[in-house]
Every structure is written in C-alpha cells, then in structure tokens.
Amino acid sequence: MSMTDTATTPEAPSHRRGGGRVGRRAMRAAPVASFPTLVRKIPAYEIVPDEAVELIHDESLKILEEVGCEFRDDEAIALWKAAGADVSGTRVHLDRALLMDLVAKVPAEFTLHARNPERTVRVGGRNSIFIPMYGAPYVRDLDNNRRYGTLEDLQNFHKLAYMAPALHSSSSIICEPMEIPVPKRHLHIIHSALKHSDKPFMGIVTSKDRAEDTMAMAGIVFGEDFVRDNPVLVSITNCNSPLVWDATMLDAMKVYARHNQPLILAPFALCGASTPASSVGAVAQVNAEALAGVAFTQLLRPGSPQIYGQFMVAVDMKTGAPMGGTPEAAQMMYLMGALARKYRLPWRTSGFHVGSKLNDAQAGYEANMLMHAAILSGANYIWHSAGWNEAGMHCSIAKFVVDAEVCAMGYRMTEGIQWDDFDEALAAIRDVGPGGHYLGHPHTQANFQRAFFIPKLFDNNSIEQWNAAGAKDIKQRALEHARHLLEEYQEPGLDPAVNEELRAYIARRSREIPAVDALNDEY
C-alpha cells in the first residue's frame, strides 16, 4: 500500500477565495462564515497497486461489452444507435473505444455557481466539498422526536446548512415535506433551498417535469441565459443495479445535461443483493454502471460537466438491512477513488451514511469510518455529510450539527500540516527552556487560535466542570446549539422581486399540476 499524490488540476478561476492564514482570518471576520472550496493538501490513499486498478477497469469494460447495460428509454436507444453502439432492444453493448472516448469528454473539474458568488465552489481535481444528506422521509426534531418531516423542518435544515461553515451546499430534499402533495412537493423544496441559503443546491430528478421546474426556478434566480450553460446545481441519478438505467433517471439526465448542469451518475448498490457478495466484484459492476451513465450524458451534450459516483453498502444477510459504516464500504470508496483518478473524473461518495437509529456511539463509529475514507480517498463531492441516520430514513437535527462540526475537522485535516510558523516554534523552545511553560509566550498568544482545532460541541472539561454545567451529553448540547443557530439565523438576501416571481411560478405550476397521485408517471 502507498500514499500517492496523483491528482493534477488546472488553475482555479480567479474568484476562488484564498486559504491559509489570510483565508482563516477572513472566515472569522465574515458575518456568516463559509469555508471556501477545500483544496486538498494531503495525498490520496491508494489501497491497491495500479495493476489492481487496471484489472478492475478492464473487467468493467468487459461487462459492458459482453453483458451490456439496459437503457429503458426510446430516445436513449436512438442516441446509442446513432453513436454506433451495438443495440438489441433496450440492451446496449458498449465497445470500450466508444465508451472511453465519451468519458474523456467530461471536464476534470468545473465551477459550481452559488446565488452568492462568495459561496461558489470548484468540483473535481484536488477540490473537495461537503454536502448535507438528501431524501429522508422522517426527521428527529429539536425535541429529539422521530416523526414525518414537514416543510418547516426542511426550512430549518436549509438554514442550518447555510450557517454551517464547512457545508458547501444546501442540498435540496434534506427531508421530505410530507404535508405537501407529492406532485407539487418539489416546487416548495427548491424554493426553500434557494430562499433560506445562498449556497449551491441540488435538483429534483423524479420526473422530467420536476427537473424542468427546477431549471425554470433556477433561471428565475440566476437568469435563464446563465443557467443554460453554467452549472448552478447538482442532481443525482441512480442506476438500478444491476445494469439498468431506467426512463425516469434518463429523463432527468436529458433535462440537466442539456442545460450543462452536472449529474451524479451513481449506481445505488446493495452489495450482496444487487451486486456480487464481493467488494472487488461489486466495484467492477458499479464502475461499469457509472461509466455507462457518464458516457450517455456526453451523447446529450459533449463536454458537459458530470460527477462519477457510487453508493455502495453491504447487506446484512440475516435481515436484508443495509450496513453503511463497514470496513468494506470504506475499502470500496478507496477503489472508486483510484478509478476516478484514472479517468480524470470528478467523483462523489458519501460521508456519513450510518445505520444507527440514534445519534449515539454506533452512529459516531460508523460515520468516522466513512468520513475518514471519503477524505483519504480524495472524494470531490462528499454527500450525505450531515444528518444521515437510520440508513437514510431520517435526518437528525442533533446529528446534523455534530456532523457539520466533524466536517470542519475533516476540512482542517485535509488542509495538511501547517509549517509556516515552524521557525518561530523552535525559537520559542529556546526561549522557554527546561521546566518552563508556553502559556504566556508571544508565539502561543499569536498562534493558539489557529494551531489546534477547538470544537464547539465536544466537551473536554473535567468531570466536575461537566457536572456543574448540567452533565449534558452530545445530543443535548447539539440540540441546544441547533436552537441557538436557528434563533440567530438571518436570511441571506433574496431580491424580493425574484422571490415574488418564484412564488408566482409555484402558484401557477400548482394550478397546472394534477394533485392526483396516480398521475405521477407524468408529473
């Protein structure tokens, strides 16, 4: 095993905010702190030699050549035929030369624009960003009660994401607002993400019309001409493992890719159920599925930015339950990272997808296993980085704010070792000498705030101090902190005219969209 520094990237655009000491001082002075794009200064961990990566790559291409991949959509099939693929019904057999030529068209990195240009980030290369979870039907609320999510809950999560310095996106469906009918729910989700945060956000993919609504609402905020060509959101499309891209996902791809909006092309793999019960076998299949999705986007718009992705968890064969925080889940991240670097593709993984039902020790252990792997594997888009609990079934407010702080710790770790004051530190050793202390030394006074990460939520006091402060556990401290943040929240200014236009769009589309759930196939 080796540590290799493999990633090379083009120069970042001039709008990127600086790092180092100046950047940290600027962050502390900002009204609402927001960390700039994390530019990784530590190498990616290579868990296997290059020969093993090449073997998996070759076998993935053989899967697409010999087994093929289903594309269950007439337009997709027509596009593959026109490109020269071997097509039989909905089964597409992809020649490796055609496949890799298409994959090579994807840019190695891209700019993801935010409503506030100060929150704009870079994705790919040596850049990493943290994104909250997505898709929970339930929440564990400010009173630590588990229940269905509401629009108010979603708005609170968007506010907390906005206020968390190390979270670079407001996501979108952090939790489902269950009181809103499904056909119209997406309108309120996107409005909340755009109104309560000025960070990048995520799109809706559950139908063509919902994707088009998302783009229309983004156009109101950013300008229609701008969103036609410039990435302002990221959307997730999942391959139905094994080896099926269905019509719903393909419809979403068509909308977003043609607007130059990046998609995460991510198989949703339950290893042992929808993949072989083998880490390397699962990676070979998932890699084939992801590459097929990436390649298809380039038929829609060559050169459009995309994100190679994966979501891979093992299945407990005793119960059928997904197991997130396992050693194998981490190992598969490392393998996918190595493949992404081979293809020079921006890539996504998940940071905190745990199975625990509470924000407890199990949640902490599982999350640490995966977040550490996400950081060391060089992931660019670290999704599900805040709030994920119960295999994604609920988003916990307590865990959300704790995870956000852990992301800040991961950010600090990935910045690498600070060397700029080494000479001054050595001089301090000579000043203090044997038996002295450094508490009052000028070097300590000048550097203590930046020398070591000081957590806000983790208690390191004596047990006497802890008892005197109420003997609060991490859950209690986190919920109090969340309440405090929400009380202090100030909405990032959205032009009232723009907000009114968004509301008018929502009202019009709510009248146009049938409320009958049976019409979901169309809406």
pLDDT in tens, 280-309: 999 999 999 999 999 999 999 999 999 998
Would you state the structure tokens that stand for residue 485, as one six-digit string? 């943040």
pLDDT in tens, 341-383: 999 999 999 988 899 999 999 999 999 999 999 999 999 999 9
Query: Given a cut of 50, is residue 523 above it in pLDDT?
Result: no
- Global confidence as pTM: 0.91
Task: List C-alpha distances in Å: 395 to 43, 169, 352, 365.
Answer: 32, 16, 11, 17
C-alpha angle 131-373-412 in degrees, rounded to nearest 5:
65
**Is 518 buried (19+), middle (13-18) or exposed (0-12) by CB count in 10 A?**
exposed
Which ranges in the chain are annotated with CATH 3.20.20.480?
1-7+43-416+455-523
Q: Rounded mean pLDDT of 414-421?
A: 92
* Cα separation, 333 vs 375, whole angstroms: 10
Would you state the structure tokens that stand for residue 55, as one six-digit string? 């073997």
Spell 186-199 as b/e; 16+ CB within 10 A means b: bbbbbbbbbbbbbb
Closest CA to 11 of 108, 119, 90: 108
pLDDT in tens, 165-214: 999 999 999 999 999 999 999 999 999 999 999 999 999 999 999 999 99
pLDDT category of residue 519 using cuts at 50, 70 and 90: low
Closest CA to 370 of 411, 342, 410: 410
User: How many CB atoms sit inside 10 A of residue 266's CB?
Assistant: 26
CATH dotted code for 1-7+43-416+455-523: 3.20.20.480
